[in-house]
Structure 1
Amino acid sequence: MGSSVGLRHFIRENGPLILDGGLATDLETQGIKLQGDPLWSARLLHTDPQAIRDCHYRFLLSGADIITTATYQASIPGFVRHLDVTADRARELLMSGVLLAKDTVKRFETGQRCPLVAGSVGPYGASLHDGSEYTGAYAQEMSIEELKAWHRPQVDCLEAAGADLIAFETIPSLKEAEAVVELLREFPNCKAWLSFSCKDDRCISDGSPFCSAVQVAKTSTQLLAVGVNCCSPAVVEPLLHSARSQLSPDISWVVYPNSGEEWDTERGWQTSRKSSASIPELSHTWLKQGAALIGGCCRISPAHIAEIRQQLKGCFRTAQGQGQHE
């Protein structure tokens, strides 16, 4: 990994950086069945790594500057339990998420674009496979030390495998955010972003104000960005506005909402009148609010990412007087 200063400079010089979209969404589009799997897309690290490579490549072709590994729902205990492998093999599988992504980036790299790899770390609730990453209720029964102990092996594996930065995603509670910030200090060369799941346009999933969550994040010198993911696009602007005074000059906003549809633990994603088409439109506002990392989460396809890149990179070049061609 490069230095924190180096990555911050890269973001500022090349921003806004475009993130990828819903990896599982794209895999399911290819006919792979993931719904109901306790390992979700992470199972494919064991059963079909080429499908992961192909998915990463589709997002890169669509303009992603950063791709996230297929490790959101991965953990050593989870692999041991659901794949019946040893702990050593589970560690290898976690690391393979980074190696697959880096190999795909290497095949894609051009003189104009050198995409980064973010090692995805989901909340403890993701391992429970019960939707609790959208409530954070489990954190009430766990200590910060227990949450750190849970996250430590994932961070250790992803860093060891060479991820450019770590993406702590869909964090639902202040306590888990505090645990993540403390844990990062054990990995002084590790850079990261921290994004929260949110219940409405003011609060993260456990009911804490988003501004309080940003206060926790800004205590870390290793966090490059803080923000939201897997929420409706409609709540992003008010959430960022509510915490604008708390954002440190050294930390940017990271924003990657879902399509606006609602998740039902029994029936899956439920289509509503809300449309992912609003993300490219709303992203201009997020850019004005200071977002430097923008993409999509669940139900956001490579085609959506291509549209976001076309709109934002064009907007950015015009605003900055830059004329480089993609």
Structure 2
Amino acid sequence: MPRFEQVLQRPVVVLDGGMSNALEDRGHDLSDDLWTARLLRDQPDELVAVHRAFFEAGADVATTASYQASVPGLVRAGLSAEAAAGLIRGSVDRARDAADEVAASTGRELCVAASVGPYGAVLADGSEYRGRYGVSTAALHDFHAPRLELLASAAPDVLAVETIPDLEEAEVLVPLLDALGLPAWFCYSVSGGETRAGQPLRAAYEVLAGSSAVVAVGVNCSAPADVLAAVATAVATTGKPGVAYPNRGETWDAGSSSWAGQGSFDLALAATWVQAGARLVGGCCRVGPADIAALATTLRGRRRREPVGHPGPSA
């Protein structure tokens, strides 16, 4: 059985947190259009260090720094197409370096998820929180297909298709994922019970229900208060395990390239997501290693405290 399918058999799989804030906490300026992908070119060892920190905090899965990486974007930054492709494949290698290092010292079974961000992410204008890009389905296909093939060629354990704001983009992605044959989880970004593009969640998750590649479905980079309803709808609509990794509840300001407002990562909410069917739980932007350590302790401790014969939240 492939590694990720083995890990997915666990009652709860702890995901990592936000790569961007962890890098900023280490002193890196991520204000340019490449965002975390800049470190693939400039300081890849820093990516390994962040992946390692999340694994040591208790995460079972590292999500690569490929969310905002694309060959055209890296070429615009001055790289050749060949070098850009190598960096995208290298995002998987850097996460694997950290996983192998921690696994060797702990004996834990750890996974690497190759991050597949939406088309809007490479625009660096906040459109991943709006969707409705105004481009054709053919353009979306031509953007996603080569990047998916690049990431798949680096042999990640799973593809993390994340922060998708629009079911129309999902309709392009699902056939591509099914053709690749790698397992994938698929998460929308939501707001107030709809996709960011304003579509009903049930309709959005129906797009994923028949996919052979998509093995888990849910929500990420959304306010924690919006997660429970989205996970419940995702699981009920598709019959697949749920995924939940929200941001801290702040709002992204594309003009200043910063997060605004107040937020908190409430561990009490995480237990309700698991009860609703979430099998993979972690954090996204502004959620750091200390938060993941507390989450891992809470969720794993909760499982240990359940009495014998209790069916558990994911039964």
TM-score (ref. length: structure 1): 0.90
CA-to-aligned-CA distance 1:224-255 (integer Å, 9 cap, x gap)? 1111101000111122334453132xx21110
1: CA distance, partners of 2:302 / 2:45 = 35
State how 1:127-206 maps to structure 2 within 5 Å.
127-138=122-133, 140-143=134-137, 145-188=138-181, 190-200=182-192, 202-206=193-197
1:104 to 98, 101, 105: 98
2:41 to 41, 46, 49: 46
User: Residue type matched to 1:204 in 2?
Assistant: T
Is contact 1:253-1:290 (8 Å) kept? yes
* Secondary structure class of the residue paired with 1:31: coil
Does residue 30 (structure 1) correspond to residue 26 (structure 2)? The answer is: yes
The Cα shift of 1:123 comes to 0.3
1:309 aligns with one of 290, 293, 296: 296
Following TM superposition, by how much is the alpha carbon of 1:174 offset from its aligned partner in structure 2, in angstroms?
0.7
- Looking at structure 2, the residues matched to 241 and 151 of structure 1 have their Cα atoms a distance apart, in angstroms, of 28
**AA paired with 1:168?**
V
User: Corresponding residue for 1:262?
Assistant: 251
Cα separation, 2, equivalents of 1:38 and 1:295: 25
Q: 1:241 to 1:9 in 2, by over 3 A?
A: same
Q: Is the 8 A contact 1:230 1:298 kept in 2?
A: yes
Q: Deviations over 1:108-154 (max 9, x none)?
A: 1056411100000110000101000011020x4321x3212211122
Aligned length: 307
Distance 2:97 2:230 in 1: 36
For residues 79-117 of structure 1, the C-alpha deviation after alignment (integer angstroms, 9 at most, x for no partner) is 1111x1111111100000000110111111056411100
Contact 2:222 2:246 in 1 (8 A): yes
Matched letter for residue 264 of structure 2: S
Task: Tell me the equivalent position of 2:227.
Answer: 236
Moved more, 86-95 or 153-162: 153-162
Output the CA distance in 2 between the equivalents of 1:124 and 1:209. 20
**Contact 1:119-1:165 within 8 A present in 2 as well:** yes
Instruction: Give per-residue Cα distances to partners, 1:299-325, cap 9 Å, x unaligned.
Output: 000000000000001112333759xxx
- TM value normalised by structure 2: 0.93
| Structure 2 Cα separation of the partners of residues 133 and 233 of structure 1 | 18
> Which residue identity does 1:50 align to in structure 2?
D
Give yes or no for contact 1:44–1:51 (8 Å, CA) kept in 2. yes
For 2:135 and 2:152, how far apart are their aligned partners in 1? 28
> Alignment partner for residue 8 of structure 2, among 5, 8, 11?
11
Structure-2 change in CA distance of 1:244 and 1:50 (3 Å): closer
1:134 touches 1:199 (CA, 8 Å); kept in 2? no
Aligned to 1:213: 204
CA distance 1:81–1:321, change in 2 (3 Å): farther
Range that drifts further, 210-219 or 41-50: 210-219
**% identity of equivalent residues:** 39
Q: What do you get for the CA RMSD once the two structures are aligned?
A: 1.6
- Equivalent residues in 2 for 1:80-119 (5 A)? 80-82=75-77, 84-109=78-103, 110=105, 112-119=107-114
* Aligned equivalents of 1:131, 1:56: Cα separation in 2: 25
CA contact (8 A) 2:4 2:111 kept: no
In the aligned structure 1, how far is the partner of 2:228 from the partner of 2:5?
A: 23
* Runs of 5+ consecutive residues of structure 1 not aligned to the other structure: none
Q: What is the Cα deviation at residue 9 of structure 1?
A: 4.5
Displacement of 1:8 in angstroms is 3.6
| Residue range with higher mean Cα deviation, 313-322 or 284-293 | 313-322
The structural deviation recorded for 1:269 is 0.5
The unaligned stretches of length 5 or more in structure 2 are 310-315
Deviations 1:170-210 (A, max 9, x none): 0011111111101112212x11011011121x101111111
* 1:72 corresponds to 2:67: yes
State the 4+ residue runs in structure 1 displaced beyond 6 angstroms: none
1:271 alignment partner in structure 2: 261
The aligned amino acid for 2:268 is E
Give the conservation status (yes or no) of the 8 Å contact 1:98–1:119: yes
Q: Pick closer, same or farther for the CA change 1:246–1:95 going to 2, 3 Å.
A: same
3-state SS of 2:274 partner = helix
Secondary structure of the corresponding residue to residue 241 of structure 1:
helix
